[in-house]
Structure 1
């Protein structure tokens, strides 16, 4: 069963996303701030990370860079999910190492399809 780390400071987003992923057969880990996300990623090595940008302690861009800088975690696909919908934000997120950048509100079916395709590419890549 693939595991996904959900990083968002909103309990509602974590709850909704967790249930959608669990219902689709994913094991879910959650973090509500950037520092916890970096620790959990290194400790559990999830198969993918769903990462908000605006987070306490360490923003999503910093989290992304730290995950990419660590040899153990650099291979983990990162989906940045944020309300920051401007082109420069998207470009910056991709430059920091995000594999996909999705703006809120997120369609759960789109998110599941994105995860599936990232995990499939990771298996064959």
Structure 2
């Protein structure tokens, strides 16, 4: 997937508070959120990010090791755009990511399209 996204900066947070700090500083367009990060539960962090972002909301893809319908419902209600369980099927993940990018606004108000990733 990184080969398809060569112009993107990748940041990694090791807990929910660090993830929130990164969001405040960097305002990423795409977030892969492990909903079981230490420090703050994923649904709370997801809600906070969506609230803080307002109309310039990032794509949030929630990821978890638990295949629990209640977890899925909770994180989607909190504002996640998609939900995946581990182990990840990278082909399905990339397909969903491209679909979501096409439907969200990019940095500086420009429309980000899947051609940005596929070129």
Q: TM-score band, normalised by the shorter chain?
A: 0.7 to 0.9
TM-score (norm 1): 0.75
TM-score (norm 2): 0.78
Superposition CA RMSD, Å? 2.0
Other structure's SS at 2:74 match: helix
Of 27, 34, 46 in structure 1, the residue corresponding to residue 9 of structure 2 is: 27
Quick one: distance in 2 between partners of 1:88 and 1:74?
A: 28
Unaligned runs of 5+ in 2: 106-110, 113-119
Quick one: distance in 1 between partners of 2:61 and 2:33?
A: 6
Q: Pairwise mapping of residues 1-125 of structure 1 onto structure 2 (< 5 A)?
A: 20-21=1-2, 23-24=3-4, 25=6, 26-71=8-53, 75-123=57-105
Q: Larger radius of gyration, structure 1 or 2?
A: 2
Q: Give 1 or 2: higher strand fraction.
A: 1
Quick one: distance in 1 between partners of 2:17 and 2:104?
A: 25
